[in-house]
Structure 1
Amino acid sequence: MKHARLVGLVASLVLGVTACSGGNSASDTIKVGSINGMTGLFQTPEVAPAVKAVFEEVNAAGGINGRKLELISKDDAMNPQRSTEAARALIDSEGVVALVGSSSAVDCGLNRTMYTRSNIVSIPAVGVDPACFTSPNIAPVNPGPFKLLTALLYYASETQKHDKVCLAFTVLPGSGGGIDAAIKEWSDLTGKSLAVKDTSVGQGDPTPYLVKLKAGGCQAVIYNAQVGPWFAQAKTQGMTDVDFIMMANSYTDANAKLIPEGLKAYVGTEWQPYTDETLPGNDRWSQVVTKNKIQKTAFSQGAVMAADVFVQVLKGIKGEINRESVTKAFKSMQPIDYPLVGTPWVFGPGQAHNPIEGSRFVKAEGGAWKVLPEGFIVPGKN
């Protein structure tokens, strides 16, 4: 069913089905904004080009009722002042109707009030900041770190059937409350609690943390910090019977090569694992990024998805397309099944938006990631 819905969406994009009447002249463009990390500490250079590629596909097929989509991307370099200036310029100077495919680590927390005050919606490709999931005018297309953490805990206890599930985390400023909420959600669903909870993991010698986990009898460890030194020391400690389950940021080819033979290492992904292009939804994404010579990453998956769902909602608008009509359309839309993720995506009228839940899992084998067969694990649903 999900694949059929995507086929229908792609057909709509290619045929350029019109969705509005009246309003601005056909020569006008529909301006769309995006705030991305092109430079700085959190870089996502593949995201804006992937969103633009989807828009160009729509434009080549006639646009939206003859109007072209124009993406205006701003680099905030993970700098608070630049991020705020970028949002203000997009909204006030450029007159964008929405923000689509943002991938900034600081945008949501800094600009959420501005988005609400300006009655504009943002559909980030990558939600990072907790504020991305707790704001009335922002709805990312990824689960984000906290829904993902709940899924990892649920996978450890319910799929892998472990009784002693442990957490070894590096906690970034402002994320402690989200982590506690994710653990509570898992506990409420399963009636279980952590055998060991350590949120003091640093970047130095991992030995003390691993010794503590080993002494606690941990059968599964949910982990989010450095990969190489951690697993080298886990090998030294003889922790070959422990399932180490990592967050999505560890899902890279380089990290797969750092896992020593004999250790069990898993990663929970936010979208379909991008390393297997035969999975549902990856065919659409792969076609877009390959044609446009864009890097194949999970972030570019989020970019294509954000652009696709935006276009689908835009095509359902009757009448003029402007900021007001676009916001109204997203606040009243029906859920969209999209096979790159585990649950339908919807914006809706709420004060907080975290519509995507669940994770697919990969396991390190022979220096590469192997996709596991369970499909998306959605807490409370499988």
Structure 2
Amino acid sequence: MKFKISMAMVTGLLAACVGNAAYAADPKCGASTGTAAAGEPIVIGGIVSVTGPDNFSSSGLAAAAYFKCLNANGGVNGRPVKYQLEDDAWNPEQSSQVAVKLIRDQKAVALVGNMSFVDCGANQGIYEKEDIMVIAGVGVPRDCFFQKNYAPTNAGPRVSNTKAVMDVAQSYPGKIKRVVCIAPNIPNLGEWSCTGAVAWIKKQGGDGKIITFDPGSLDATSVVLEAMAFKPDVISVGTPKGLAVPIFAAAEEQGLADKVHFTGPASLYNLDFPRAIGKYWDGKVTVDMELKAADAATPDMQNWLAVMEKYGQASDPRDTFSQAGYLAARVTAETLMKMDAAKIDRRSVTAALRNIKRFESDMWCSPWYVGDGSRHNANHAGPVSLVKDGKLVPKQVCIESEDPELDDVHAYEKTIGIAK
């Protein structure tokens, strides 16, 4: 039996809905004055992908909700944020057009909450030329983690894949020697997202194989059979949820749950994922988490939910990408509030954002920063979860990714006093 899938499924990335999780009654934003800001607006932009294969805008919607909350509570020392969210429609040319609109026409001082497959590659040139900082919610392709003016609050698929494989290998000492990582052949994403896990297992004396496929015509059975031909101990399904489900169905048909350990990156950290793959996989799949559990009753988690409840739309996702957008907006707002409101402009904001060297939140496992390095991947530690009893059950340990590509990041962190 062969499983086919459409291109639209490539965008079935994480939707870790938290349902009826508790949230604080009164969200806290900015100075929490309860008085609306009425001064001269500060323009901040954001680029997401709304129209096209799928609506990929969760991060930007959360940033918009946070800025509404901020404006209702005094804004940035009296000045409201005018947040302009633009749709790039998954189109590099349109992404460049809206970037020019926000930066040159609207005079945005920063971009915040970005979430796009094409933004990073299409707009690196203008970000550097105009020296404007992007505090992105979600970076996906490699380009998002390898430029001076782009700092995502998420970890990214490469780090995420690596951590999940590490957890399984460390849970079964000496038994994990061969790893297969499966990913869609999207430029600067598919193979790159798997290379960290493969490099790590090779460093442990093992071996690895990367299998990429056309996301528009997935033959899940063929992919699974190709993976099994390598005789793996672990298969990492490094795909969005929509692509992963048929792969797990094909693996179930082959009876693989007791033969191979399965893992996935944070794109599978979706509270509906265990139901989607079925009871067969109970206790058999490890899924990475780029941030802490979406339904954790910690202060920042509750505040994020409260912000979304009061200032977001009911249709706005409450997922990990939403958490990332909330963090991006909050980091930016709290940085601006330390500045002289009368002197806020792009140059001063860029300098202030680059000066972030230790921002802490109970959503992250370690301090987040921007700094003046040539690239940014500050989020590289987090827990993993196990599919168990129809749920994703988090382990209470933060795992530090040992992806060799992070060596320069770790070296930079030592220069700013963040020890790992």
Classify the TM-score, shorter chain: 0.7 to 0.9
Say which SS state the counterpart of residue 288 (structure 2) adopts.
strand
Q: Work out which of the residue numbers 222, 242, 260 in structure 1 matches 2:236.
A: 222
Contact 2:289 2:384 in 1 (8 A): yes
Distance 2:349 2:186 in 1: 34
**Which deviates more from structure 2 when the two are superposed, residues 95-104 or residues 341-350?**
341-350
Say which SS state the counterpart of residue 28 (structure 1) adopts.
coil
User: Is 2:206 aligned against 1:193?
Assistant: yes
**Shift in CA distance, 160/68, structure 1 to aligned 2, threshold 3 Å:** farther
Distance 2:331 2:123 in 1: 22
Distance 1:252 1:89 in 2: 34
User: Is 2:323 aligned against 1:301?
Assistant: yes
* Structure 1 unmatched runs, 5+: 1-6, 18-25
Contact 2:183 2:194 in 1 (8 A): no
User: Aligned pair count?
Assistant: 364
Q: Which residue of 2 aligns with 1:66?
A: 78
Q: Which residue of 2 aligns with 1:250?
A: 268
Distance 1:370 1:180 in 2: 22
Q: Which residue of 2 aligns with 1:118?
A: 130
**Shift in CA distance, 81/280, structure 1 to aligned 2, threshold 3 Å:** same
Query: How far is the alpha carbon of 1:100 from its aligned partner?
Result: 0.5
Matched ranges for 1:34-49 at <5 A = 34-49=46-61
Query: How far is the alpha carbon of 1:11 from its aligned partner?
Result: 6.0
Q: Which residue of 1 aligns with 2:414?
A: none
Contact 1:102 1:124 in 2 (8 A): yes
**Which deviates more from structure 2 when the two are superposed, residues 73-82 or residues 191-200?**
191-200
Distance 2:164 2:214 in 1: 18
Distance 2:298 2:172 in 1: 23
Contact 2:245 2:277 in 1 (8 A): yes
Whichever residue aligns with residue 223 of structure 2, its letter is Y
Q: Which residue of 2 aligns with 1:172?
A: 186
Say which SS state the counterpart of residue 262 (structure 1) adopts.
helix
Distance 2:249 2:199 in 1: 32
Contact 2:180 2:232 in 1 (8 A): yes
Say which SS state the counterpart of residue 270 (structure 1) adopts.
coil
Distance 1:361 1:373 in 2: 6
Q: Which residue of 1 aligns with 2:225?
A: 211
Q: Work out which of the residue numbers 342, 364, 383 in structure 2 matches 1:360.
A: 383
**Shift in CA distance, 52/179, structure 1 to aligned 2, threshold 3 Å:** closer
Query: How far is the alpha carbon of 1:262 from its aligned partner?
Result: 3.2
Q: Work out which of the residue numbers 94, 115, 131 in structure 2 matches 1:103.
A: 115
Whichever residue aligns with residue 283 of structure 1, its letter is Q
Q: C-alpha offsets along residues 8-64 of structure 1, whole Å, 9 cap, x if unaligned?
A: xx86724369xxxxxxxx731111000111211242344333212211222222121
Say which SS state the counterpart of residue 200 (structure 2) adopts.
helix
Contact 1:235 1:260 in 2 (8 A): no
Distance 1:216 1:185 in 2: 16
Contact 1:272 1:279 in 2 (8 A): no
Whichever residue aligns with residue 171 of structure 1, its letter is N
Contact 1:272 1:281 in 2 (8 A): no
Distance 1:83 1:201 in 2: 24
**Shift in CA distance, 377/70, structure 1 to aligned 2, threshold 3 Å:** same
User: Is 2:306 aligned against 1:287?
Assistant: yes
Q: Work out which of the residue numbers 389, 398, 401 in structure 2 matches 1:379.
A: 401
Contact 1:227 1:255 in 2 (8 A): no
TM-score, with length taken from structure 2: 0.78
Contact 1:361 1:372 in 2 (8 A): yes
**Shift in CA distance, 330/256, structure 1 to aligned 2, threshold 3 Å:** same
Q: C-alpha offsets along residues 111-165 of structure 1, whole Å, 9 cap, x if unaligned?
A: 0110110010001111122111101100000001122122222222224544233
Whichever residue aligns with residue 120 of structure 1, its letter is I
**Shift in CA distance, 229/60, structure 1 to aligned 2, threshold 3 Å:** closer
Query: How far is the alpha carbon of 1:187 from its aligned partner?
Result: 4.7
Whichever residue aligns with residue 304 of structure 2, its letter is W
Whichever residue aligns with residue 351 of structure 2, its letter is K
Query: How far is the alpha carbon of 1:185 from its aligned partner?
Result: 5.6
Query: How far is the alpha carbon of 1:201 from its aligned partner?
Result: 7.6
* Backbone CA RMSD of aligned residues: 2.8
Q: Which residue of 2 aligns with 1:273?
A: 293
**Which deviates more from structure 2 when the two are superposed, residues 50-59 or residues 190-199?**
190-199
**Whose RCO is larger (CA < 8 A, sep 6+)?**
2
Say which SS state the counterpart of residue 223 (structure 2) adopts.
helix
User: Is 2:53 aligned against 1:30?
Assistant: no
Q: How much identity, in percent, do the aligned residues show?
A: 28
* Structure 2 unmatched runs, 5+: 1-23, 403-418
Query: How far is the alpha carbon of 1:261 from its aligned partner?
Result: 2.5
Contact 1:336 1:346 in 2 (8 A): yes
**Which deviates more from structure 2 when the two are superposed, residues 301-310 or residues 226-235?**
226-235
Q: C-alpha offsets along residues 328-358 of structure 1, whole Å, 9 cap, x if unaligned?
A: 1112222211221233211111111111112
Matched ranges for 1:117-136 at <5 A = 117-136=129-148
